[in-house]
Amino acid sequence: MKRVLIVEHDRLHRDLIREWLEQGGAQGVCADSVTAAPAGIDAILIDVVSQQQAHALLRSWRCAYPHAAIVAASGRFFPGDTANDAMARRLGVTRVLAKPFTRGDLWAALDLKASPSTLRSARRS
């Protein structure tokens, strides 16, 4: 099971993202700082407030988890940025994700694939 670290300041968003990750077959783990972050993380979803502050924030997480995929999510990104590999490279992340995003957008950014039974139960909730 893929372990995804969620770095999101809004509790409601954190809870929704964790639920979506579990529906996608991953385990969502939360941490507010690098020092409080657990071991064994495969990917990190980081809320980025602005591109200007992104580099320092992302650098600290990259140092803590050098082998993890990093997805930067922000309301400052545009939907077209999601497919923009140049922006991801410039920020030093695996992918960028524009907020608001859907469960499908999240799963695609993290390469998650849900089973048909998971999809059926997710539609009912």
User: 49-87 pLDDT, tens per residue?
Assistant: 877 778 888 888 999 999 999 999 998 888 776 666 788
pTM of the model as a whole: 0.85
- What is the DSSP secondary-structure string of the chain? -EEEEEE-S-HHHHHHHHHHHHHTTEEEEE-SSGGGPPS--SEEEEE-S-HHHHHHHHHHHHHH-TTSEEEEEETTS-GGGGG-HHHHHHHT-SEEEESS--HHHHHHHTT----HHHHHHHHH-
Average pLDDT over residues 21-39: 88
